Amino acid sequence: MLEKMDLAAPAQESPCGPERRCIFRSYCVKETVSIYARAEIDFRASETCPHNLQVCCKLENIQVPVPAPNPKFECGVRNIEGKPVPIVKSREEETDFPEFPWVVAIFLNASTEQKFIGGGSILAPNVVLTAAHIVYTRRTQDLVARAGEWDIHSEIEPLRHKNCLVLETICHEQFHTGTAIYDIALLILRTPLELTHHIMPVCLPRSLEFLNFERCFVAGWGKPSFEQVASMRNVLRKVDLPIVNRTECQQRLRSTRLGRYFELHESFICAGGERGLDACTGDGGSPLFCPLLDHPNQYFQLGIVAWGLGCHTEDVPGVYANVFQLQKWLRKNLKDLDVNPNYFTPTFTTEYFDRQMHSKNLTKL
């Protein structure tokens, strides 16, 4: 659904000149052109707009899509073109807005400003999943979880983000600051989030879930390199990675400075090892998620960015907290908090039901 911009509403003076305004490229359309028919759109590019995804557009050609009410709640659903959300296209390595609505930015309230410290993911309206090493030494009252974020240095998104203060921090009791084993934590929000198109939870994998491990995603605002001079990214970035099995990962890590006696702890899982494709410093706490084979547009969180040896190094996988392995701890705490599991549990499919019945039949044999 498209609606004309309210031209009667007061606006700041436009750098584009009279009768024009800076707007996202996908919102500058001709009257008879679909918002997604980009090949036919007459862009009015200008270097004067404050954001590189904006263009100067005639007022009569500005049309902004209005999200339709969400008819069915589902966790882990990726927003892609064709869905009733105001998609904003970006560069290839950056996410579109709001492509992965469960990704959260975590900030530290400093004296004069909020400082970005890592990522997280939404499990329920009042629960965020992150890495323990991000929050372990922080005062709970200083933490802020920002949901629905995309560009952390601007507020140009068509739907506003939501800042939430943290009421309680729950880190795994066996988390070790030196080795980062059991690197998992829950943030309990002081005010529950209102779930909408750009703020939704991710799914947690069930025991009989069939995931596609060939290409998973990690999404965060971390630095592009490990160098001190590198700065955090403005726009949420995505990287597609393969899951690396434990034996292979341990063997690869033993060939590094960790040495031949290194043992990969059971609370870790590995992904990546491809040149130029990796999480990096600042991505800590961000989710690693994989598509469901039965429904490839629905994602389940498999890991949490934990640590690595540099960034983007070929044949050296990144190491993530193993969400599947840590589910017993995770689900116990969620149950103790009286969190409704329907928020992070997908609806039953025929395929899953068949697998469940087959599993029960095998148990009887």
For residue range 6-38, list pLDDT tens digits in order. Answer: 333 334 456 777 777 777 666 677 533 333 333
- Confirm whether 103-201+327-343 and 216-322 share one CATH topology: yes
What is residue 10's predicted lDDT score, i.e. its pLDDT? 38
DSSP string, 181-207: TT--EEEEESS----BTTB-PPBPPPT
Which is higher by pLDDT, 108 or 355?
A: 108
Domain ranges, ordered by start, for the chain:
2-65, 103-201+327-343, 216-322
Q: Where are the alpha helices (DSSP H) in the chain?
A: 132-135, 246-254, 327-336, 350-364
Please check whether residue 321 is in contact with residue 268, taking contact to mean a CB–CB distance below 8 angstroms: yes
Fold designation for 103-201+327-343: Thrombin, subunit H (2.40.10)
Please check whether residue 317 is in contact with residue 271, taking contact to mean a CB–CB distance below 8 angstroms: yes
The first and second tokens of residue 262, run together, are: 């290194």
For residue range 280-298, list pLDDT tens digits in order. Answer: 767 889 999 999 887 788 8
In terms of pTM, does the model score above 0.85? no
For residue range 174-217, list pLDDT tens digits in order. Answer: 999 999 999 999 999 999 999 988 999 999 987 767 777 888 99
Closest CA to 286 of 151, 117, 164: 117
DSSP string, 104-122: EEEEEE-SSSEEEEEEEEE
Closest CA to 308 of 361, 253, 363, 267: 253
- Spatial separation of the C-alpha atoms in residues 237 and 96, rounded to whole Å: 9
CATH class of 216-322: mainly beta
Which residues have a Cβ under 8 Å from the Cβ of 235 and sit 6 or more positions away? 90, 91, 94, 95, 150, 151, 221
| pLDDT confidence tier of residue 63, bands split at 50, 70 and 90 | low
